[in-house]
Amino acid sequence: MIKNYLTIAFRSFLNGKGYSFINVTGLAVGMACAILIYLVIRHETSYDLSQANLDRIYRVETENIKENHTYPGTYTGMANALRTDLPEAETIVPLMQVGGRTMTAAGSSEKKFRESFVFADNALFRTLDYTWVAGDPGQALAQPNAIVLTRAYATKYFGNVDVLGKSIRLDSKHDLTVTGVVEDYPVTTSFPFNMLVSFPTVKQVDTGFDENRWNGWNDNFQVFVLLKKGIDATQLTGRFEAVVLKYMGKEALSDKRFKLNHLSEVHYAGNLGGRTANVGLLKTLAAIGALVLLIACFNFINLSTARAFKRAKEVGIRKAVGSSRKSLIYQFITEAGLITVFAGVLALILSVLVLPILSAALAIPLTIQDLFVPQTALFSGILVLLTTLMAGVYPALRLSGMAPIWALKNNATSSSGQGFSMREGLVVVQFTVSLVLISCAMLIDRQLDFFRNADLGFNKSAIITVGLPDNRPDKLQTLRSMLSQSAQIKDVSFSFNSASAESNWMQGMEYRQGPKTVQVKTQMKMGDSHYLDTYGIQLLAGEALKDSDTTNFKIIVNEVFLGRIGISNPAAAIGQRVYYGDGNEFATIAGVARNFHVNSLHQKIDPTIIQVVPNNFYQAGIKLQSENAIAAGIQSVLVTIEKAWTEAFPDQVFEYSFLDETLGKAYQSETRTARLIEVATILALLIASMGLFGLATFTAEQRTKEIGVRKVLGASVGSVVVLLSRDFLKPVVVAIILASPIAWYLMNLWLQNFEFKISISWWLFLASGLMMTAIALMTVSFQSVRAAMLDPVRSLRSE
């Protein structure tokens, strides 16, 4: 029987080549989408899950209650505090990441690299899984000036892994002794550290580091905790409240909260690995994959049920000679299975071709080999089975349920008198999904345009940023003098970071007015006297900072800061004092700057202070004279900058970036979402249009004699085209009515992720509807015109 089913299935497949092509192609595209999206989601949801102590590892995060925002970093005093006040912890693991430093293999002046590394201690090796090639995990990071390398980095610097006792020089000043080598980290880790430097070395590299600081933090300093067995993290809230009370004071309880975030969730928030997964994007991907596959299945159902009337006599004869409904169901499901298997093979080929492009677009390390692992094979097998059932069960039940007498009647193909048929309902769903995708893609692109063109309150164009390996005044003066000699350079500023940056320094400040005290969590922008001019930040009142303001602690504040302390007039703020935390040190407001976006447009503008702190100058911002320089001019100025930089820092590696490109990276997730939805829209429209084309072909065939009669009676070609096209526009109009509110709801939900956003305009839905109507008309008009142009004599000939 199975052989018989397959033989008939092959015959049916070959007899309807056009319909089979549409079904195979549509299902293949849908299945390829599902397979590729499965690979992405499986990769993104597998980070850190192989850790042996996974269930007990947590990160201590800092929540600002008033801002309703949680930061992955915390205060440097947290590690020592938890060692004392959290007996439920088995290990406390402080990690501090440092970037943009020059590393040189001892004895080799050629092997210089610009690297980032992490300060850690031996508790890291008792918490996370490491496979050791050489060294003692219990002592490797116990002493100052010790470094542990991965196998890849040991080979990179020394050519082999026999490197214990050898030295790596940091910034031409600090010699670090290699005390261990570990195997390379897995791809799915939130801790991709190639260089681990012992924590006792911090003081030598950063003399201003305070391991007991409770005022100001940086997201590059994070603390992980391995809880003892049997400890429930949710029961430790009281412990962390006690930490706030003990080290920060009772006043901080209303604004500050520390909480534990499980290691399995770290990949979805800011982490030291620098790569995060966007949960919203993953959900969007899953929904897109399901919808595209569903549209392809609906195509199959529509075309199968449309062709059912052609096979009505076949069904009637089979039943008349004794075939059971069960055997007919098996037959039709076998046909669906055959088409799905062909589609599965084509889907695999498409996946092989598209995977490298998808991997590059999403910056995910997926390879062709990922398509051929057992998990993917199992998923693909289940996908083929489910697709067969989704696409085949309804047509099988519909076709096998025909009564023999009805099926054998001459008018069995008549479908007149029906209202809104099942086929039309499925077409409505297809085009509703396509319209929602079109509307979403258009709106996301508008939001991205808003990001690109929004007034940030400063000028991001034509600014090149370069890291500073040394912030000694003589070095910086040498660099400024050489750069200022170039006619292509307008200004140079030294600072902690740019006017807008993802990594920021938060500081608690107080404004005291008599008995009244206002606490303000403030973002610190440490820059020199050129900072405002370089970044085009406008002063509303007061005067710019001078480089000599390091001694008298003068500062510039923004409008948001003034609003928090209750001053409405910028001029009235000049001369006012603000205190650092709850201490006695204060700074005097010398100027008020117009609000500028210190963060990405996802977040509101923080209260911000600009202050001259040369010890924290780690970046040079170089403003070019021309904002529209040609490529040759940019290359020329880069050569000038590199020459000056090398003169000031001869033993360092030169790296640069353009500020506008750096800021654009903050919206990578939204850009990827837009591109994915655009691709999904094209695929959904392609599949839906192919199905509509197939239905139009079938309808034209069914109404051949009707068209012939109408033409004999004087109907024009145009009236016949309108007659045939009208029936297909009805589901499109219904789809427009259904899709518009759905798209509005989804986009309104998505826009809630942004503090600054566009409004949703009605014309977006009108444009989407007109676009969809045009596509539907073009799809069916070819068959409509073709049918209308047929010779009526041929149309009316006897069968």
790 pLDDT above the threshold of 50: yes
Query: What pLDDT was estimated at residue 404?
Result: 61
Query: What pLDDT was estimated at residue 382?
Result: 92
403 pLDDT above the threshold of 70: no
41 and 84, same domain (yes or no)? no
Burial class (CB in 10 A: 0-12, 13-18, 19+), 276: middle
- The one-letter code for the residue type at 281 is L
Among the listed residues 122, 110, 101, the one whose alpha carbon sits nearest the alpha carbon of residue 179: 122
29 and 60, same domain (yes or no)? no
32 vs 110, higher pLDDT: 32
Query: What pLDDT was estimated at residue 439?
Result: 86
Cα atoms in the Cβ-side hemisphere of radius 13 Å centred on 797: 6
Query: What pLDDT was estimated at residue 14?
Result: 53
524 and 397, same domain (yes or no)? no
Among the listed residues 758, 783, 612, 755, the one whose alpha carbon sits nearest the alpha carbon of residue 690: 783
Query: What pLDDT was estimated at residue 153?
Result: 94
Would residue 324 count as lying in a domain?
A: yes
Would residue 128 count as lying in a domain?
A: yes
Of the segments 278-292, 422-436, 607-621, which one has the largest average pLDDT value? 607-621
What percent of the chain clears pLDDT 90, i.e. is strictly above it?
25
What percent of the chain clears pLDDT 70, i.e. is strictly above it?
85
413 pLDDT above the threshold of 60: no
What is the per-residue DSSP string for 721-781?
A: HHHHHHHHHHHHHHHHHHHHHHHHHHHHHHHTT-SS-PPPPHHHHHHHHHHHHHHHHHHHH
64 and 195, same domain (yes or no)? yes
383 and 360, same domain (yes or no)? yes
Q: Tell me the pLDDT band of 414, cut-offs 50, 70 and 90.
A: very low
Query: What pLDDT was estimated at residue 3?
Result: 57
- Nearest 5°: the CA angle 724, 725, 730 is 115
Q: What's the rounded Cα separation, in Å, for the pair 62 and 660? A: 29
Would residue 775 count as lying in a domain?
A: no
5 pLDDT above the threshold of 80: no
What's the pLDDT tens digit per position in 229-276?
A: 989 988 888 888 888 888 888 877 888 889 999 999 998 887 888 778
Averaged confidence pLDDT in the chain: 82
- Nearest 5°: the CA angle 224, 39, 382 is 125
Q: Tell me the pLDDT band of 304, cut-offs 50, 70 and 90.
A: confident
What's the pLDDT tens digit per position in 305-363?
A: 766 556 666 666 666 666 676 777 777 788 778 888 888 899 999 999 989 988 888 77
Would residue 125 count as lying in a domain?
A: yes
266 vs 397, higher pLDDT: 266
Average pLDDT, integer, range 480-492:
89
Q: What is the largest CA-CA distance in the chain?
A: 104
Q: Tell me the pLDDT band of 83, cut-offs 50, 70 and 90.
A: very high
532 and 645, same domain (yes or no)? yes
Full residue range of the structural domain in which residue 553 is found: 463-666
Q: What's the rounded Cα separation, in Å, for the pair 198 and 94? A: 11
Average pLDDT, integer, range 414-432:
65
Query: What pLDDT was estimated at residue 603?
Result: 82
β-strand partners of 223: 60, 94
Write down which residue in 380, 414, 448 finishes a domain: 414
Q: How many domains does the chain have?
A: 3
Question: What's the length of the chain?
Answer: 799
Would residue 330 count as lying in a domain?
A: yes
Q: Tell me the pLDDT band of 799, cut-offs 50, 70 and 90.
A: very low
**Cβ within 8 Å of residue 786, ≥6 positions away:** 700
Question: If you search the block for the tokens 């309104």, which residue do you land on?
Answer: 748
Burial class (CB in 10 A: 0-12, 13-18, 19+), 53: middle
Among the listed residues 29, 704, 696, 734, the one whose alpha carbon sits nearest the alpha carbon of residue 303: 696
547 and 626, same domain (yes or no)? yes
Would residue 559 count as lying in a domain?
A: yes
- The one-letter code for the residue type at 47 is Y
Q: Tell me the pLDDT band of 417, cut-offs 50, 70 and 90.
A: very low
39 and 74, same domain (yes or no)? no
Q: Tell me the pLDDT band of 491, cut-offs 50, 70 and 90.
A: very high
501 and 641, same domain (yes or no)? yes
What's the pLDDT tens digit per position in 154-188?
A: 999 988 989 999 999 888 788 899 999 999 999 88
Q: What's the rounded Cα separation, in Å, for the pair 143 and 197? A: 10
Helices (H) then strands (E): counts for the chain: 25, 23
Query: What pLDDT was estimated at residue 418?
Result: 45
- Write out 205-251 in H/E/C secondary structure: HCCCCCCCCCCCEECCEEEEEEECCCCCHHHHHHHHHHHHHHHHCHH
Would residue 351 count as lying in a domain?
A: yes
620 pLDDT above the threshold of 60: yes
610 φ/ψ angles, rounded to the nearest 5 degrees: -110, 130
User: What does R_g of the chain's alpha carbons equal in angstroms?
Assistant: 34
Q: How far apart are the first and last CA of the chain?
A: 34
Query: What pLDDT was estimated at residue 177?
Result: 93
Q: What's the rounded Cα separation, in Å, for the pair 3 and 675? A: 45
Query: What pLDDT was estimated at residue 402?
Result: 63
Q: What's the rounded Cα separation, in Å, for the pair 162 and 156? A: 12
Write down which residue in 251, 266, 281 finishes a domain: 266
79 and 6, same domain (yes or no)? no
Would residue 437 count as lying in a domain?
A: no
Query: What pLDDT was estimated at residue 678?
Result: 79
39 and 68, same domain (yes or no)? no
662 and 587, same domain (yes or no)? yes
**What token pair was written down for 113?**
């690299």
What's the pLDDT tens digit per position in 693-737?
A: 766 666 666 666 666 676 666 666 667 667 667 777 788 888 888
Average pLDDT, integer, range 603-610:
89
Among the listed residues 504, 600, 49, the one whose alpha carbon sits nearest the alpha carbon of residue 277: 49
What's the pLDDT tens digit per position in 730-765?
A: 888 888 888 889 989 988 888 887 888 888 888 888
Query: What pLDDT was estimated at residue 533?
Result: 92
Write down which residue in 666, 692, 712 finishes a domain: 666
95 vs 206, higher pLDDT: 95
